[in-house]
């Protein structure tokens, strides 16, 4: 534990993004920049189909290095950069749940967006 940290890790599991933002005491705009940074770094360096504990340690180090290069204050302000790992866990688990849902209901994983068999104007023509 570093003495320079000003925000220590909470003693409970953070399961929602809203709770994470509250614990970080961060404004909405800065928090959305943080979310964008973590997501882009995860997509670049990690396998988004695996849980954080199942990731390759070298990939996790590259991920953390990229986050700290772009936002060095996370390493200084937060003990062990806990918000980065907390959001990474929330993000990856939501991706895994989403892929499982799509596979269960549509027989495949989402590759971009789901193509509907008929155009939207045809599907909703009866509503008019």
Give the pair of three-digit tokens for residue 108.
């495949």
Angstrom distances, CA of residue 62 to CA of 40, 41, 53, 66, 97: 13, 9, 15, 6, 25
pLDDT in the model for residue 120: 52
Residue 102 reports pLDDT greater than 90: no
Q: Which residue has the higher pLDDT, 48 or 111?
A: 48
Q: Cα–Cα distance between 17 and 90 in angstroms, integer?
A: 7
Q: pTM, whole model, 2 decimals?
A: 0.72
Q: Which residue has the tokens 């104007």?
A: 121
Q: Which residue has the higher pLDDT, 112 or 96?
A: 96
Residue 107 reports pLDDT greater than 50: yes
């Amino acid at each position: 534990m570093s003495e320079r940290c000003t925000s220590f890790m909470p003693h409970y599991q953070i399961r929602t993004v809203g709770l994470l933002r509250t614990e970080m005491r961060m404004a909405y705009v800065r928090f959305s920049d943080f979310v964008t940074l973590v997501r882009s770094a995860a997509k670049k360096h990690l396998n988004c189909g695996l849980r954080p504990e199942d990731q390759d340690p070298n990939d996790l180090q590259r991920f953390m290095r990229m986050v700290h290069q772009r936002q060095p204050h996370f390493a200084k302000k937060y003990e062990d950069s806990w918000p980065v790992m907390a959001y990474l866990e929330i993000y990856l688990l939501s991706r895994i749940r989403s892929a499982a849902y799509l596979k269960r209901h549509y027989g495949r994983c989402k590759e971009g967006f789901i193509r509907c068999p008929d155009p939207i104007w045809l599907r909703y023509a009866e509503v008019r």
